[in-house]
Structure 1
Amino acid sequence: MTFFVVTVFLLVYLGMLLGGLPFLQLDRTGVVLLGAIALVASETVPMDQVWRAIHLPTLALLFSFMVISAQLRLGGFYGWAVGRLGRLDLSPPALLGALIAVAAGLSAVFSNDIVCLAMAPVLVEVCLDRRLDPIPYLLSLACAANVGSAATLIGNPQNMLIGETLALSFAEYLLVAAIPVMLGLIVTWGIVAGLTRGRWQLRASPPEPPTHERTAEHWPTLNRWQSIKGLTVATVLFAGFLFIPWPRALMALAGAALLLTSRRLHSFRMLGLVDWQLLVLFIGLFIVNHALQQTGLPAQAVAALATQGVDLHAPTPLFVTSFLLSNLVSNVPAVMLLLPVATDPISGPLLALSSTLAGNLLIVGSIANIIVIQAADRRGIRIDWRGHARIGVPVTLATLAIAALALWLGQRLDG
């Protein structure tokens, strides 16, 4: 049975690495779901253990903020925010700074992936209207969304998982992450502005948009009432997370339920914007990782590494391993693998910062990166891996260095 579990685990994580499996029409979610079904159907994970393997508070929190983000998307808030930025009389570097601040702020409260999905197409049109090269702005959007999402325990899926599993204090984590995130955003602006200096303007005519694509004349219009509803619920929840010792998942579910009880926005439209594939991915990974943990092999591997001087319970090895795994199999599965060794008080913030900031290194390191690249491609703007790495690599290394230094100093001061 152990051989079967290990085989399924390796195939699932190979699929996570490759984005699918050779000769099969499966994406990452399909591979994970197939692996989970194989474990449950073979009764390797008995049906009565499935719900014990799945961490429901994480799923509830993730689902709830998907509903809140859907409210803001349908209200046109994200597109309106970018459009307002584009109408400000700012120099190109100042516009870049404003974009980074807005993208990071929104991503700290809402999902970084959703922020990029809604903002990227409008940002392209803003840049083309102003005769600005969209590439530095698009890459800054992805980097800022990733860095900004590290500021809170609701900014991205892996932070939700870490916060709920380790029962981290929302306020205490915010205090730990705020300074490295703010410094990281300043450094991100400096790197992009420095690398783009003197080359802000387009040198050629912008590509003509396909007829089915939205252009500047067809941006989402702002529905003030629906946007205010979504922002109000998000603000109340954020304050509740800071000051009220109730379970975050239950408060978030109450907020999502409030938004679903609408006289004008049909629940079908809101639930249609929920990322069900991501929820299925989480469920499948919970089951696959639970099966592997039951074999005892991960604990044996951790003990064997410790005898060789690599103790994953210690902050430095955990930080490095989180960075490497996040770029091999993506940050959510990397965090799921490493949570059992997150026993040090600093391990939760360390995992959240390192796994999130690692996502800027390569295009495949973060879904937010892929969303931005695809939005640019639909408008005829090509960003290859070299173009992304030119900004992504220095931003990643700089922000990780800042985070590592901040965590080390925090430990020294606490000691």
Structure 2
Amino acid sequence: MLSTASGTAAGTADWQAWAAVAVFVGTYALIVTERIHRVAAALGGAAAMLLIGATDGGSAFYSERSGIDWNVIFLLLGMMVIVGVLKPTGLFEYLAVRSVQQARARPFRVLVTLTVITATVSALLDNVTTVLLVAPVTLLVCERLALPPAPYLITEVLASNIGGIATLVGDPPNILIGSRAGLTFDDFLLTLAPLAALLVLVLIGLARVMFRTSFGYDAERAAEVMALDPRASIRDRRTLVQGLAVLAAVVAAFVLQPVLGYEPSVVALLGAGLLTAVASVRTQDVLAEVEWPTLAFFAGLFVMIGGLVETGVIGHVSNALAHAVGDRELGGSMLLLGGSGVLSGVVDNIPYVATMAPVTADLVQHLGGDRHHPMWWALAIGADLGGNATAIGASANVVVLGIAERAGRPITFWQFTRHGLVVAAATLAVSAGYLWLRCFALR
């Protein structure tokens, strides 16, 4: 009787796992082909996961392992509110004019400037926070110089994901890996910051080739921008000072998170609440600036991925990867790097790393390694860089697509992905060489 019950349960689990895969693949196909809006596709996919029983309300809304990541949702919401308060002050116009003037209004120099700034800031801030701050500046720069914004926005979001590998707080998967492996902020900085700097140079070189037709120089527009006084852009100095003070406090709390113990989402919400309370702004105007469709898309995506987690699909993939690694330290590290890169381009890297971290810990222990074992670095690099491969591979990608759409300059799934795939493949290849050189050839 027990055997029959076990067999029935296993059959149900297998059916749900295959159904969950079908729902995810079908939804992904709708997002890729853009036959319906990506928000509708994600919410529809989430509803289908609930209908087939791949997940349930408790897991979808309350599970840390397979539910909606409310830390991400509320981090986005808090930072969007802060940006919404700062936007009417003229800060972004000021930064746009200053950045163009620093680059002498030369389009490629502008791209390099914004790319380096984005990558550097992403090492200290969450990638999503970085692009929320940089994207409005970029849109204004492109408007001033009559440039297509897509190449600049795409390059910046790719830079944010690359810069995020440099530190423990640069990308959420790094925090998960650091906690599991016992790696410190300095461990990440000393090991991966040099790689991040190298990959930014690779990205700039690729952008020069991929977007070579987007750097047309308009001498008349350039002269107009060079003649502007950036200070004239500031319209509300009092709110600007208040906003910058709160933003600085939020950034400091992000960096000091290991000491303070507050989640980034809590910090962002506290900052947003404080700023809306003290600034002379109308709450409804600020809330109108929030990218609500982007938040809904994330919620749907998290529920879908949770269905894959609950039915064991992601666990099976992770275990298969671990089995393929075996006792081969070098080959296993390269397989983990490449496999993580591929999978993180399809599913969000946070649940993937959460699932793979204990498997990696077992592998490291089996191989007699310590917290500096190359397996940990392979997992971090692959998960962080793989997100560049597709338009939904990383949270920052989705946010930038939402900002571009709201500004009336939409970026399609394939427009992003055809460039992201090239960058992801190139940076993963360079990273493989770096990992071999640092962890095997020179140790």
How high is the TM-score relative to the length of structure 2?
0.68
Counterpart mapping for 1:113-262 below 5 A: 113-116=128-131, 119-120=134-135, 122-132=137-147, 134=149, 136-159=151-174, 162-163=177-178, 168-193=183-208, 200-201=215-216, 223-241=239-257, 244=259, 247=261, 249=263, 253=266, 256-257=269-270, 259-261=272-274, 262=277
Seen in structure 2, the aligned counterparts of structure 1 residues 324 and 199 have a Cα distance that, compared at 3 Å, is closer
The CA distance in 2 between the partners of 1:220 and 1:317, in whole Å, is: 54
Query: Matched residue of 2:166: which SS?
Result: coil
Q: Which structure's CA Rg is the greater one?
A: 2
Of 307, 314, 334, the match for 1:316 = 334
1:186 CA displacement: 1.8
Of 247, 263, 288, the match for 2:307 = 288
Seen in structure 2, the aligned counterparts of structure 1 residues 110 and 78 have a Cα distance that, compared at 3 Å, is farther
* Contact 1:116 1:141 (C-alpha < 8 Å) held by counterparts: yes
1:106 and 2:95 correspond: no
Q: Deviations over 1:84-112 (max 9, x none)?
A: 31233524333222111222233334443
Structure 1 spans left out of the alignment, 5+ residues? 207-216
1:385 CA displacement: 7.4
1:286 CA displacement: 7.0
Seen in structure 2, the aligned counterparts of structure 1 residues 405 and 59 have a Cα distance that, compared at 3 Å, is farther
1:3 and 2:14 correspond: yes
Higher helix share: 2
Q: Deviations over 1:109-144 (max 9, x none)?
A: 444345445544542442342355545433322322
Of 66, 74, 88, the match for 1:63 = 74
The CA distance in 2 between the partners of 1:20 and 1:382, in whole Å, is: 14
1:95 and 2:110 correspond: yes
1:181 CA displacement: 1.0
Q: CA RMSD in A?
A: 4.9
Query: Matched residue of 2:117: which SS?
Result: helix
1:39 CA displacement: 3.5
* Contact 1:99 1:141 (C-alpha < 8 Å) held by counterparts: yes
Q: Deviations over 1:269-319 (max 9, x none)?
A: 469568643663576367435523499856764576467x99999322111
Deviates more, 1:362-371 or 1:378-387: 378-387
Of 340, 347, 354, the match for 2:382 = 354
1:214 maps to what in 2?
none
The CA distance in 2 between the partners of 1:394 and 1:177, in whole Å, is: 21
* Contact 1:147 1:185 (C-alpha < 8 Å) held by counterparts: yes
1:27 maps to what in 2?
41
* Contact 1:147 1:357 (C-alpha < 8 Å) held by counterparts: yes
**Amino acid in structure 1 at the alignment position of 2:41:** D
The CA distance in 1 between the partners of 2:315 and 2:208, in whole Å, is: 49
1:151 CA displacement: 2.7
Q: Deviations over 1:169-220 (max 9, x none)?
A: 33422333211111111222233235666972168x99xxxxxxxxxx9999
1:14 CA displacement: 1.7
**Amino acid in structure 2 at the alignment position of 1:355:** A
Q: Deviations over 1:339-374 (max 9, x none)?
A: 442223444443332223223334454454465567
* Contact 1:140 1:192 (C-alpha < 8 Å) held by counterparts: yes
Seen in structure 2, the aligned counterparts of structure 1 residues 57 and 393 have a Cα distance that, compared at 3 Å, is closer
* Contact 1:191 1:391 (C-alpha < 8 Å) held by counterparts: no
Query: Matched residue of 1:39: which SS?
Result: coil
Between the aligned residues of both structures, percent identity stands at: 22
- Report how many residues are paired: 398
The CA distance in 2 between the partners of 1:294 and 1:111, in whole Å, is: 28
The CA distance in 1 between the partners of 2:214 and 2:57, in whole Å, is: 60
Seen in structure 2, the aligned counterparts of structure 1 residues 39 and 225 have a Cα distance that, compared at 3 Å, is farther
1:84 maps to what in 2?
98
Deviates more, 1:222-231 or 1:93-102: 222-231
* Contact 1:113 1:368 (C-alpha < 8 Å) held by counterparts: yes
The CA distance in 1 between the partners of 2:21 and 2:261, in whole Å, is: 35
